[in-house]
Structure 1
């Protein structure tokens, strides 16, 4: 593992990475613990905040023109910003209406899509995390 690419990356990438890793770890703790408790709610609001930072910071991460497929610097991975922008309010809407299944589905979908799948895609060649994990 080589952290040099992260250390020299623009601040929005550093913020994005730190908040995504924190959200992933916190999300795993939330998924593995009892639901509906004060602890769950406290961690849940922290998770919402972290995922908001992940999504907002992603908007400021753009691919340079001519460096692969993009529209105004936005690549298909940026669709996960839309997933987050829809899933977070939907999850809150569901829980405020007492729809625990809808809330759980939205939050699990966000965790899997917005963190697991999007995180795996950052390991593709040409991305900074590929260089961090695999070198080069």
Structure 2
């Protein structure tokens, strides 16, 4: 639990959580948005990579599966921006917003792993916190996505 790779992973997680919120709640398309956004993306990539050097439950686990989902989400969010695909802004917003929501859902799993001793309580605590985070995130994402399509 307290290894060098664990601390490095934690550092990337903290930076990602902060920069993800900063990007989410500031004006889009500005130089500031782009700079902080790239810090978010780099830290998320490093966060996902370092997750594979951490062993949970004696090998590949559900946490590793969701690290892959997170990695795909980040790549899917950046591809439209870099290639300027059709409807790139909506695609970028959608995937990057879900990336931040997913990061906070993963945060609840990490908290549960560290602080909930009983496995039965762990899964319920994580499930409820994750569901609420995803539900609130979906509401915010859908509300903002409607604004993007009107522009």
Q: TM-score range by the shorter chain?
A: 0.7 to 0.9
Cα distance in 2 between the residues matched to 1:27 and 1:122: 17
Cα distance in 2 between the residues matched to 1:74 and 1:80: 11
RMSD: 1.6
Q: Report the Cα offset of residue 92 of structure 1.
A: 1.3
Q: Report the Cα offset of residue 21 of structure 1.
A: 1.1
Q: Report the Cα offset of residue 84 of structure 1.
A: 2.2
Q: TM-score with structure 2 length normalisation?
A: 0.69
Q: Deviation above 6 Å: which 4+ runs of structure 1?
A: none
Q: Does 1:55 align with 2:43?
A: no
Q: Secondary structure at the match of 1:35?
A: coil
Is contact 1:83–1:110 with CA below 8 Å preserved after alignment?
no
Q: Report the Cα offset of residue 55 of structure 1.
A: 0.3
Cα distance in 1 between the residues matched to 2:91 and 2:28: 14
Is contact 1:55–1:81 with CA below 8 Å preserved after alignment?
yes
Structure 2, unaligned runs of 5 or more: 117-151
Q: TM-score with structure 1 length normalisation?
A: 0.76
Q: Does 1:122 align with 2:107?
A: no
Q: Report the Cα offset of residue 85 of structure 1.
A: 2.0
Equivalent residue in structure 2 for 1:108, among 70, 78, 97: 97
Instruction: Summarize the alignment of residues 87-102 of structure 1 with structure 2, pairs less than 5 Å apart.
Output: 87-96=73-82, 97=84, 99-102=88-91
The answer to which structure has the higher helix fraction is 2
